[in-house]
Amino acid sequence: MIEVVTRRVCENCNTGWLSRIESGAAPVLKGLLDASSKTISEVERWIVARWFTKTILTAQLALTARSDTGILHPQDYRTFFDHAQPFNNQFTMIAGYQGPLPPILFEVYSPDETTNRGVRVLFHFQRVVILAFFMNTDEPASLHLPHRFDEASHIIWPMQRGLLRSDDPTLPLSWPPPFVVEGDTIERLRRLILPTS
């Protein structure tokens, strides 16, 4: 889905566990893209969140100099290698989209550490929007999401009871959500992700 290639991952990882993450996520993502899936199960939430973590990490390798890891730390790569799951401080949401199909949009921004907003990622492809916010859980930042965005999205990670509207994280989530995102909301989300000038 992203025409970006990195040669900074060893062949064993690329053709092994990273490939299995990609192939395991493919049928889940296909069901969300073509709306053949009507729900997202607890396991599928984890599959998509883990795939998104892998995508963020490998995209950063592809988009930075060989001597740099980008806005993520070397330890983040080690942690993902050791555990192969989304990060504990990774807050991830998924939304359905309707409207003209724009080009694939993948944007990452890390503000000044004094803002305590951490790394923010927006990925928009076809009928799906995925957002991730990496936040300091000791001093959580408030998320000023667009109006009614919580009704147009689902939290897929972390999976915990009582997070926004999540009464029981083991129950499947409806897909697409009751409301969907449109073009103007994408622009508001981009302003949330990217620095204001």
- pLDDT score for 70: 67
DSSP type of residue 181: B
| Residue 2 located in a structural domain | no
- pLDDT score for 9: 65
Q: For 11, list phi and psi in degrees, rounded to 5.
A: -60, -40
| Residue 84 located in a structural domain | yes
Range list of β-strands (E), 64-189: 90-96, 105-109, 120-125, 128-134, 153-157, 173-174
| Residue 6 located in a structural domain | no
| Residue 75 located in a structural domain | yes
Q: For 58, list phi and psi in degrees, rounded to 5.
A: -75, -35
Structural domain including 186 reads 11-193
Q: Which residues contact 166 (CB under 8 A, 6 or more apart)?
A: 155, 159, 160
- pLDDT score for 39: 95
Per-residue pLDDT tens for 165-178?
A: 567 888 899 999 88
| Residue 80 located in a structural domain | yes
**Number of structural domains found in the chain:** 1
- pLDDT score for 1: 42
| Residue 5 located in a structural domain | no
| Residue 30 located in a structural domain | yes
| Residue 42 located in a structural domain | yes
- Give the residue from 94, 102, 139 showing the smallest Cα distance to 121: 94
Per-residue pLDDT tens for 6-21?
A: 556 677 777 788 889 9
Per DSSP, the chain holds a count of helices (H) and strands (E) of 5, 7
Per-residue pLDDT of the chain (197 residues; tens, 9 = 90+): 445 555 566 777 777 888 899 999 999 999 999 989 999 999 999 999 999 999 988 887 777 766 665 677 788 889 999 999 999 888 899 999 988 887 888 888 876 555 545 788 889 988 999 999 887 655 555 667 787 888 889 889 988 776 655 678 888 999 998 888 888 888 888 887 776 54
- Give the residue from 101, 100, 131, 99 showing the smallest Cα distance to 118: 131
Q: How far apart are CA 142 and CA 116, in angstroms?
A: 10
- pLDDT score for 44: 96
- pLDDT score for 116: 45
